Amino acid sequence: MGQAIVQVDAFTNKPFGGNPAAVCVLAAPQPDEWMQNVAMEMNLSETAFLVPRSDGYDLRWFTPAAEVALCGHATLASAHVLWSEGHLAIDAQARFHTKSGLLTADRREDWIELNFPVQPMQPVEPPDNLLAALGISQAEAVRHRTRQNQDDYLVELATEAEVRQLQPDFGRMLKLATRGAIVTSRASDYDFVSRYFAPGVGINEDPVTGYAHCCLAPYWQERLGKSEFLAYQASARGGVVKVRQEGDRVLLGGQAVTVMRGELV
């Protein structure tokens, strides 16, 4: 028998929406090169690898180009697989040991709630050509955060329409040595909308990004004066995220559906 692999659409309640991730539950750790090759072969924004331990699972995430330190949608997909494929009792908490510390997932009726660390960002003047590379003429505000020597930016625009219509120049973004940029605005049917572009790790646009909402939670808490939000990531696939900030943690609610089961031979 080969290694089982499951593909899940996360932050959606229907197939072919949200953000797809592949999930491998391994019997034992595998070499980094093998995991990176599997992620490259799957060619999804993230592939998650889990190894059981006495108090949960070790969890790592790989894009087709690199390992990342935090990923929301692939964690949501991993919890979904543990419960739906019989690895974990349906009423048990999923506990993940990661490069970002202990992360947990709990079932909330038809939703899964992730407990993640908040990712605050600091005000900054945008670097030369960032706004131009994003296709933005004027921003309401810009925030910055460096994580593991990689820069991320958060840019607020005046209107939801501007966020939805954005067409970045990814070639220019690659020249900025910036991992990614979150672009956001207030919204009519949600508290806020966003999009996330990360060509620096091989993902021009991520469909729905849990990590980005760990940055957006403290930002919109400051802007809107509340701690609980209904958010929408306005990519072509799109996805809904329930967001609640509690101190230095962010609770992310999402749904997930299995779309494919396979075997690596």
The DSSP secondary-structure symbol of 200 reads G
Strands annotated E in 29-128: 46-53, 56-62, 67-68, 94-98, 101-108, 111-117, 122-123
The answer to whether the CB of 111 falls within 8 A of the CB of 256 is no
Strands annotated E in 93-169: 94-98, 101-108, 111-117, 122-123, 141-147, 150-156
Distances from the Cα of 122 to the Cαs of 90, 193, 222, 236, in angstroms? 40, 20, 12, 29
For the question of residue 85 being annotated catalytic, the response is no
**Measured distance CA(78)–CA(87) in Å, rounded:** 11
46, 156, 160, 205: which one is catalytic?
Answer: 46
**Measured distance CA(44)–CA(120) in Å, rounded:** 27
The answer to whether the CB of 79 falls within 8 A of the CB of 112 is yes
- Residue 133: strand pairing partners: none
**Measured distance CA(228)–CA(250) in Å, rounded:** 10
Structure tokens at 230: 């209904």
Amino acid at 200: G
- Residue 203: strand pairing partners: 198
Q: Could you give the residue numbers annotated as active site?
A: 46
